[in-house]
Structure 1
């Protein structure tokens, strides 16, 4: 009986948490000695930099953290002040009082003033927002497309098109530069890119002249994992999910003396079922029915894909650093599509059924090499000179075999299509930053890109003897060259509570799109100036306002220039327009950032005026088919209000939300048809995270996109519910995450087109949105999450 009682006591004692003791202090301003309230205080364990406790200071600057006995270091963060780190803290019974801690005001330029809270997966800055991917439970084990769709202000529709605040023309970068991972505007590459290698996502809604002018709606910058701490550290991951989703990845870093080696690897096998249905009516000028048919699409896409990156940082000395890296990505997909047409007569009676079966083999490989040099000067740590060079090679091949059967027709129709793409891209740039003091600096840079894309498309059809003959109207080759030279200059300064930045960027563009077989060429040479300016004012220690302006452009992705896309659905072809010209946008924004006792709120008002708006129109033909054709339609006035909010309702309950209300007036016509439309819509996202125990965390998020008008009709509402849960195992070195995305499979694109001679309703999913994923991550000599300001990498701006 004694042994039983002893074992029971030991067992129950092991379930009880160890006794905690207070780690306390008082925070004041270094210069005035006034208390600093609402600052964030975070205690980390000295052994592995894992977060042990966090709190905010009271109005009198006091704070108390409850921690278990052990060794720690303390980090305190506050808007407009330099982070304060207190090292080598040992907490024992009865606790530790640090007394008065003094925090100095930051001398960093206005664009880097930020609010950082451990409680949120978002770091909000006045010029951008940083989404820390590792803290989003519903994104674990998913692709880059899934992760981007969880980022506030960003939406990825079922076809893979990306919008920012409801607008197209988004520039996607990787580590501040174009990447072989996402080359050529290939949206499907986002689905092939594993999310496990992504550290964070930056959303820049009104970029300065430092950034390339491309992307009228803004820039999305994907930051890959990389570390520079001494020794070896990293993480290993594995994923299994439904629909078929198997993957493995690692991210490793080794630092010794003056060398830092880093490597990322990911491989996955995925299948993506999808499809949809539509009803299309073609009308005569008097409104009578010309043709009517229904169609159903059932597809299954996917295969094996992987990427491998290897690089090194060489710290030549304390002032010179050289970084080189190689990235290789390859995928092999087997894509199936079954399209069924049902044709009806004027009395809605079925007259024929046609089934079109397409089997496509797709192979893609990319190679990217980059070399960067960084020089810092003795007089100031922000006195920098950098040189960057990057080369991208992309090769893509799609081969399709098509069998079409029609009721009442004995012999099937046999067709085959080929689509080959080859791209080279060379980037050269240099940037220089010269601070005169802690509050005044100038910077400038030069950049050149040389890009060539060759794309050949051909469709063949078998005749009565079985010999394949080329369709002349579906046989051509596009050669696209894009050479851009740019220079920029920026000046910025802080004058007390006022911050000012102004810049000017010039870009000389030489763009040619030539159809080699048909002999048509479209050349565009133009020079543009892109000014930018921002003014910020810090009302109090916890609130700041910023006004900003920038001029941007969006060159059409070369895929919008291609005369052909695929031949899976010849009744509804998507084709390109080689004569497209860029969109130009003037963007204005006013933002207010307010730090709350247990969270933060950011409110923004924005207005964008765009000329040369690119719109994809669905154009009906007399033979009962349509083409989806992009044109420079006209002008657009767009304006809206966006609010980002995060707050800790309790220590165990965290809440974040994003709301965007926008409206636009589009004016323009094509082929004497007026497509003017007034658009008004909204979207929102809310997420709640619950810390059930020290090791178990759950998250629930809901997203809603309201209906919106289009130049030809209307897009209907979509919504989705995501859930996730994570459990720390193996003494915190491993994490199991179970996530369910779009549990009710409601993220479906539904459209209505209502024109005088053409009416259509459709619903479509490029892939089934409902997914269930189980992932496991094991960390080697690495904390569960690298905190901003402690990690050797940081989250600074990358010049472009």
Structure 2
């Protein structure tokens, strides 16, 4: 109720302010008007949403856009001499002189715009090479054909993105060596598991990837290492336009992927959509050698999964008039997975029974998102109010059958069925207000309400086993103020957030276990940018962030099980907080741009994976999560987007991280000890593009991921090399791509562990594969120069000055 009252008062105040200021220009007497109509030179049809820019001495004074009938009228101009520019993507810019000192009412009548063949040639065509843009609070990777060719899904191309690592086996994602990262789709959270998201999104449907390592106070502070925002294609071209992508990956078995992007733009409406389909079988295998006293054994694993996924996005924009826009879209995700696996446990000591476990499961997941957005533009350029409502619902049932045999005799030990049901709902309401107070000062205010609910239940052999309900609510308000002063840009902000959580765990035969938390926190952020020249830019930033335990981390219901290990959450986890500092430098050279940076993090109550002996069964271990001591992490990053020759360009990145990890773990079975570990990780990537001819391209890429140390495990280094090629056909509208991944078959996961007992192992997947794909783009339209929603890309206002 308090939040509703605040929202009502906030909106009422803003409209009251607008009502008071909107009458002032009407009483101006010494003012002039510039008007006219814009049409297409060839068709004579009116052009709506054309940019009209009014300048005085090359300085932008005001402006507007044309109506649906192609007309414009700019009022309340001082009686001076102006230059008027008519700008529209795909057309040549026209400049007109307007001398209001001679005539108070200047009508240009009809102005016909001529198509710009150079601009039209590049409209909505995927660039050959991905580009990296460094902004005040993020790094933006505009996805080109080289990245699309690097993989069929989002998970595969992520491994070619600076600072990002994806486990090829589990699709677990990390940013700057830390898995506490928030994944957004089009700037919105989802209840879907991040690993599943990366498997389902086709690479051809991705427009850009944003790495927001130090988000401002405007954005939710979750994610210690920051935010990865995946922006899907959303066209706004006139007429009907489409793009089709099909591909096949050949590993041990073939896997198909397809995607379709459509848009239709006419008058006040823009309809768009994309659809992605993935289907195929995936084979994984591995082993673990355990040297636990009297329980030494060799475990062999084989997993075969047949997955089918559908991901669709449909939406529209309704441009009510020049000041009001209403938008809606929905994401629908369907995933069907059939998995079969076996675990073979062979003990060295014959007193232990050798076991064989067969595992068969079916996952049938459906996730749906509905997003509504209304944006009101006030008269002043950049002055707007935006209300957004986002609703997400997911249903993830799993039916699993475990069968255990005595491997020596072949006698059945036991067999049981697990039915797991997970229902999730999330509702987010955002209200954002932006006001450029002056030409160099910008104010942003906002409110957010977020409610999440998850119900999880486990039935064993159709009998109730356990249930877990997790409800959390977040109410927040933020304010940021930006100032531009000469070559400096400053932005300060703070977000006040109230966090409430209630959870209850019910287990057959046990008393209910309840958990509650109530935290009020302040999250400040500061950004300072200095641009001594066009070729040099420095950026210093600070933000405080939080990682609240996810449902999978706190859910005590088992996630998966083997004869020796059960994976489950820890309901006693508490949030971890991080103070993050960054310093970045970007240098533009004749051959491209190079960005280098350093960062430091202070982490409080860090959440980390841990393994310990099951107190109810000493022959098994539990893989779970725990809060460790306060830890420090710091690192350095360098990335370059370079053109060495006209025929050779490359994206290069390297990073090194050092962290001190402290915590109490099980050192030997049943014995716990406080441990401190210093770990250093080094990663590097290079992606080369060679232009043999105008239409023929070759790509050669490689990556190396150094070893990583945790309190209990050491992950061995990983590396691979890929080779690809692409050829444009059909006058550039079509592209044939091919890729040979992991040429030397070197990519696998290997580890060594000493706690709570000595162990080592290795897991392999279909890393070595061949991909063949075809992309075809066709349509009849030209781009509209329309204003996109800020939050649709999760994009900040930048430097704090007027853009």
Q: 2: distance between equivalents of 1:649 and 1:603?
A: 19
Cα 1:625–1:171 shift into 2, 3 Å: same
Q: 2: distance between equivalents of 1:781 and 1:539?
A: 44
Q: 1: distance between equivalents of 2:583 and 2:114?
A: 39
Deviation at 1:458, TM superposition (A): 3.4
CA contact 1:185–1:557 (8 Å) conserved in 2: no
1:293 to 289, 294, 297: 297
CA contact 2:129–2:146 (8 Å) conserved in 1: no
1:249 to 240, 259, 264: 259
Deviation at 1:313, TM superposition (A): 0.3
Cα 1:447–1:567 shift into 2, 3 Å: closer
Partner of 2:373: 372
Partner of 1:448: 449
User: Match of 2:199, SS?
Assistant: helix
Partner of 1:484: 474
Partner of 1:798: 795
Deviation at 1:194, TM superposition (A): 2.5
Deviation at 1:566, TM superposition (A): 4.0
| 1:128-207 matches, cutoff 5 A | 128-137=138-147, 139=149, 142-157=152-167, 158-179=169-190, 183-207=191-215
| 1:640-655 matches, cutoff 5 A | 640-655=635-650
Deviation at 1:240, TM superposition (A): 1.4
Deviation at 1:744, TM superposition (A): 3.3
Deviation at 1:139, TM superposition (A): 4.3
Cα 1:430–1:762 shift into 2, 3 Å: same
Q: Which 5+ residue runs of structure 2 have no aligned equivalent? A: 1-55, 60-89, 95-112, 119-126, 667-671, 798-803
Partner of 1:218: 226
Cα 1:186–1:176 shift into 2, 3 Å: closer
Partner of 2:653: 658
CA contact 1:294–1:343 (8 Å) conserved in 2: yes
Deviation at 1:185, TM superposition (A): 3.6
| 1:720-799 matches, cutoff 5 A | 720-755=720-755, 757-765=756-764, 767-781=765-779, 797-798=794-795
CA contact 1:141–1:196 (8 Å) conserved in 2: no
Cα 1:160–1:675 shift into 2, 3 Å: farther
Q: 1: distance between equivalents of 2:738 and 2:727?
A: 9
Partner of 1:625: 620
Q: 1: distance between equivalents of 2:731 and 2:677?
A: 58
Partner of 2:677: 677
Cα 1:711–1:141 shift into 2, 3 Å: closer
Cα 1:639–1:491 shift into 2, 3 Å: same
Per-residue CA distance 1:276-299 (angstroms, 9 max, x = gap): 1010122xxxxxx22111101110
Q: 1: distance between equivalents of 2:499 and 2:561?
A: 35
Partner of 1:36: none
Deviation at 1:333, TM superposition (A): 1.3
Deviation at 1:603, TM superposition (A): 0.6
Partner of 1:50: none
Q: 1: distance between equivalents of 2:560 and 2:487?
A: 60
Partner of 1:600: 593
Q: 2: distance between equivalents of 1:330 and 1:676?
A: 44
Q: 2: distance between equivalents of 1:399 and 1:260?
A: 42
Deviation at 1:791, TM superposition (A): 10
| More off after superposition, 654-663 vs 618-627 | 618-627
Partner of 2:331: 327
CA contact 1:689–1:699 (8 Å) conserved in 2: yes
- TM-score, normalised relative to structure 1: 0.80
Partner of 1:414: 415
Cα 1:799–1:655 shift into 2, 3 Å: closer
Deviation at 1:413, TM superposition (A): 2.4
CA contact 1:718–1:748 (8 Å) conserved in 2: yes
Partner of 2:498: 508
Q: 2: distance between equivalents of 1:490 and 1:318?
A: 27
Deviation at 1:356, TM superposition (A): 1.2
| 1:706-717 matches, cutoff 5 A | 706-717=706-717
Cα 1:178–1:411 shift into 2, 3 Å: closer
1:639 to 634, 638, 650: 634
Q: 2: distance between equivalents of 1:630 and 1:589?
A: 28
Deviation at 1:351, TM superposition (A): 6.8
CA contact 1:605–1:639 (8 Å) conserved in 2: yes
Partner of 1:498: 488
Partner of 2:320: 316
Deviation at 1:670, TM superposition (A): 4.3
User: Match of 1:136, SS?
Assistant: helix
Q: 2: distance between equivalents of 1:73 and 1:697?
A: 31
Q: 2: distance between equivalents of 1:783 and 1:678?
A: 57
CA contact 2:581–2:601 (8 Å) conserved in 1: yes
Q: 2: distance between equivalents of 1:629 and 1:398?
A: 20
CA contact 1:745–1:768 (8 Å) conserved in 2: no
CA contact 1:251–1:264 (8 Å) conserved in 2: yes
| 1:432-581 matches, cutoff 5 A | 432-460=433-461, 475-517=465-507, 518=510, 519-581=512-574
Q: 2: distance between equivalents of 1:537 and 1:799?
A: 18
Cα 1:792–1:236 shift into 2, 3 Å: farther
Cα 1:741–1:642 shift into 2, 3 Å: same
Q: 2: distance between equivalents of 1:156 and 1:141?
A: 13
Partner of 1:208: 216
Q: 2: distance between equivalents of 1:635 and 1:676?
A: 11
| More off after superposition, 411-420 vs 696-705 | 411-420
Q: 2: distance between equivalents of 1:170 and 1:607?
A: 16
User: Match of 1:290, SS?
Assistant: coil
Q: 2: distance between equivalents of 1:89 and 1:730?
A: 22
User: Match of 1:190, SS?
Assistant: helix
Per-residue CA distance 1:527-557 (angstroms, 9 max, x = gap): 1000000111111121010110000001111
CA contact 2:129–2:144 (8 Å) conserved in 1: no
Q: 2: distance between equivalents of 1:584 and 1:744?
A: 42
Deviation at 1:583, TM superposition (A): 1.0
Partner of 1:11: none
Per-residue CA distance 1:332-386 (angstroms, 9 max, x = gap): 11111111111112xxx79753221111111001121111011111121x11211
1:339 to 324, 343, 350: 343
Q: 2: distance between equivalents of 1:733 and 1:174?
A: 28
Q: 2: distance between equivalents of 1:583 and 1:692?
A: 51
Cα 1:620–1:747 shift into 2, 3 Å: farther
Cα 1:120–1:322 shift into 2, 3 Å: same
CA contact 1:433–1:442 (8 Å) conserved in 2: yes
User: Match of 1:758, SS?
Assistant: coil
CA contact 1:245–1:268 (8 Å) conserved in 2: yes
Q: 2: distance between equivalents of 1:455 and 1:797?
A: 30
Deviation at 1:623, TM superposition (A): 2.9
- TM-score, normalised relative to structure 2: 0.79
Partner of 2:272: 262
CA contact 1:134–1:140 (8 Å) conserved in 2: no
CA contact 1:155–1:163 (8 Å) conserved in 2: yes
Q: 1: distance between equivalents of 2:704 and 2:718?
A: 6
Deviation at 1:567, TM superposition (A): 4.5
CA contact 1:387–1:429 (8 Å) conserved in 2: yes
Deviation at 1:162, TM superposition (A): 1.4
Matched length? 672
Cα 1:227–1:410 shift into 2, 3 Å: closer
Cα 1:439–1:397 shift into 2, 3 Å: same
Partner of 1:46: none
Q: 2: distance between equivalents of 1:724 and 1:699?
A: 5
| More off after superposition, 306-315 vs 734-743 | 734-743
- CA RMSD, Structure 1 to Structure 2 (Å): 2.8
